[in-house]
Amino acid sequence: TQLLEQSPQFLSIQEGENLTVYCNSSSVFSSLQWYRQEPGEGPVLLVTVVTGGEVKKLKRLTFQFGDARKDSSLHITAAQPGDTGLYLCAGPLTDSWGKLQFGAGTQVVVTP
């Protein structure tokens, strides 16, 4: 059972456009993390959101955690080719953060 549903599965946009990736669950998570992964490499942590309703900004990336802590979104403003990658959301399944449930990922391609 996939507890974290990501949408869309694939996104192809032109440089300069905006995009939003969604991560939804029927379960409440104590926190959600967003990672970006490039081919042949491990995921790189972008952000962790902990509080319901929290909004975090990382340069052109804006992350939001839903009020009920069941969903999250990642918005990229003025996307650049360097934003290309697989974006993954993940949340802890147990009391520790060492056992993460991952979404299937959203493949983002930004063309010049």
Partner 1 sequence: KAGVTQTPRYLIKTRGQQVTLSCSPISGHRSVSWYQQTPGQGLQFLFEYFSETQRNKGNFPGRFSGRQFSNSRSEMNVSTLELGDSALYLCASSLGLFNEQFFGPGTRLTVL
Structure tokens at 64: 């939001």
> Rounded CA gap, 32 and 36, in Å?
14
27 binds partner 1 (CB under 8 A): no
Q: Per CB under 8 A, which of residues 46..105 are in contact with partner 1?
A: 48, 88, 90, 93-105
> What torsion do the CA atoms of 38, 43, 48, 54 make, to the nearest 10 degrees?
30
Q: Which stretch binds partner 1 (CB under 8 A): 11-19, 20-28, 39-47, 70-78?
A: 39-47
Helix (H) or strand (E) holding 73: strand 71-76
As measured in angstroms, the least distance from the Cβ of 23 to partner 1 is: 13
Query: In terms of C-beta density within 10 A (0-12 exposed, 13-18 middle, 19 or more buried), how is residue 27 classed?
Result: exposed
For partner 1, the closer of residues 79 and 90 by Cβ is 90
28 binds partner 1 (CB under 8 A): no
As measured in angstroms, the least distance from the Cβ of 55 to partner 1 is: 18
> Which residues lie near partner 1 (CB under 8 A)?
33, 35, 40-45, 48, 88, 90, 93-105
